[in-house]
Homo-oligomer: A and B are copies of this chain.
Amino acid sequence: MSLKIALAQVNFLVGNIEANVDKIIEASVYARDHLNADLVVFPELTITGYPAEDLLFRADFIAAANNAIYLLAERVTDIAMVVGFPERDDNKLYNSAVVLHQGVILACYRKQILPNYGVFDEQRYFTAGHQPCVFEFNGTFIGLTICEDVWKQGIIDNAKQAGAELMLTLNASPFNSGKIHQREAIICQQVKAAKIPLVYVNQVGGQDELIFDGASFVADLHGNIVFRAEEFKEQISVIEFDGHNTLLSSCAPLYNKISSEYQALVLGIKDYVRKNGFQGAILGLSGGIDSALVLALAVDALGQDKVEVVLMPSEYTQGMSNEDAIKQADILGVKYHTIPIAPAVNAFTDMLADIFAGTSKDATEENIQARCRGVILMALSNKQGKLLLTTGNKSEMSVGYATLYGDMAGGFAPIKDVPKLLVYDLARYRNSIAQVIPERVITRPPSAELAPDQIDADSLPPYDVLDPILERYVELDQSAEEIISAGFRREDVVRAINLVDRNEYKRRQSPPGIRITSRAFGRDRRYPITSGYKGI
């Protein structure tokens, strides 16, 4: 009763049903011919990619996805394929998995637990299934589950009671830092309790703000991991079920925290650029730590020849900023331009002189500088078809320490969910592999350089105070009082929280960025702009 099962950890393009079907066929043929697999398992909603969001409301899209299943069944024989798709039946839509074999549908399972929290909106689209699905294949009774199902108690038990000897789970489980440990711990606990081996296949790749990290795995009936695919990479692997338990195969080692975060950011940039058909990426390089890290990430994601940087000094830019920026561009071998912003800033200053007569300088004048840089970068992006990467970090996004249409201009914000202290850690991590960021960029005090001798600490609490407050307020939903009683100074907490509350309007217009924490400023945080709520 031995069974060879392939895990197809594949990177799909959301919405491109035709290309996804081709990928499924290619992977299935490879699993059959090169891995001698009897059966191949794909991630959740394979046909459409995940999440397809409101494309799921389009009747033509759903019809195409359902037709694709029949087409697929006939295109590949001599291996069973377990494929996810949005199943239309009787005017309802289900998040389903089918088993295709020799041109027919052997079994169909409908996801029972539909997540509707965080980044998930599945109850917006799907009706929940209400029963287990167990099918016989080559003498083995196999149960099917989909993603959230195996995070909840009861679903695996029900499948076992219905006769399953082995579970297959199709997943689209997005990355955040530390998630993999949580995921493996919870699911292995379920497996151990139910005493049934489980094959877990996860999607891999970047999709707008989400990163799917792969790391598909197999647990034996004791809840031990006997196989793990690599993180952040496509991989088609095979494992064996001996009729009783899954056999030990190989386990890719897990990245540590900092390297998994770095890899997630690299994959996010790579897939956003590739899947959206950009020629490459450009960014403004200031000599500061944020743009230095984004440049390193972009080069690691796209290669030096696809990345271009622009230095845009002003009268407030220190000499060392330009020196360090050029030094990094040289180390990484990327093309750079230098365009001083004074002519444009002076033009606007003159144009507004009459109206602004008698007023004193404030953030307006700083914003004009940032916006002149935005205009230059967007002009280069438009002319060359290159994606403009914005370089703002999560601490700035939280408190609104950024200029809308200025340094916030751009198509993608790679480190939008990276708090400032982690920006430093990631820079040091990258330099520990090979020094690509000049040391002085890391050691000098951070500054926006929009006014004489300005440093961030003039406007904000120091980052080693600010970042933990923000984590508690934004990610953990703690109240001001809770944060204060954890040992933070009231004035720092008040200042930080007021800024977070007040800057929702800026975040609403910010470009999408890569989610690496449990709460980014994306689909997972939906705050009103118009709000009388005061966090303190």
Contacts and interface: CB of A to CB of B under 8 A. Distances in A.
Contact of A15 (B58, B351, B379, B531): B531
Nearest to A63: B479
A386 B441 CA distance: 38
B351 A337 contact: no
Interface stretch (A98-106, A361-369, A419-427): A361-369
Contacts of A60: 479-482
Interface in A387-419: 404-405, 409, 411
User: In the complex this chain forms, how many copies of it are found?
Assistant: 2
A505 interface: yes
A433 interface: no
A339 B351 contact: yes
A27 to B, nearest CB: 17
B13 A532 contact: yes
A71 interface: no
B364 A352 contact: no
A343 B347 contact: yes
B344 A272 contact: no
A29 interface: no
Contacts of A363: 382
Contacts of A344: 344, 347-348, 351
A390 B520 CA distance: 27
B58 A529 contact: no
A276 interface: yes
Contacts of A207: 528, 530
Interface in A359-387: 359, 362-364, 367-368, 371-372, 374-376, 378-380, 382-383
A16 B375 contact: no
A339 B348 CA distance: 10
A96 interface: no
A169 to B, nearest CB: 24
Interface stretch (A215-223, A231-239, A257-265, A506-514): A506-514
Contacts of A52: 528, 533
A528 B14 contact: yes
B378 A55 contact: no
B351 A376 contact: yes
Nearest to A366: B382
A36 interface: no
Contacts of A347: 343-344, 346-347
Contact of A55 (B341, B375, B405, B533): B533
A207 B527 CA distance: 12
B364 A368 contact: no
A368 B16 CA distance: 34
Interface stretch (A78-86, A116-124, A176-184, A315-323): A116-124
A136 interface: no
Interface in A479-536: 479-482, 505, 508-512, 523, 525-533
B371 A526 contact: no
A480 B14 CA distance: 19
A397 to B, nearest CB: 14
A152 interface: no
A532 to B, nearest CB: 2
B405 A376 contact: no
18 contacts: A13-B532, A14-B532, A15-B533, A60-B482, A116-B124, A121-B121, A206-B530, A275-B530, A337-B355, A340-B351, A344-B344, A346-B347, A348-B375, A364-B382, A367-B379, A371-B378, A372-B375, A508-B512
Interface of A: 13-17, 19-20, 49, 51-55, 57-61, 116-117, 121, 123-124, 206-208, 271-272, 275-276, 337, 339-341, 343-344, 346-348, 350-352, 355-356, 359, 362-364, 367-368, 371-372, 374-376, 378-380, 382-383, 404-405, 409, 411, 477, 479-482, 505, 508-512, 523, 525-533
The 4 A-B pairs at the shortest CB distance, nearest first, are namely: A16-B532, A15-B533, A60-B479, A15-B531
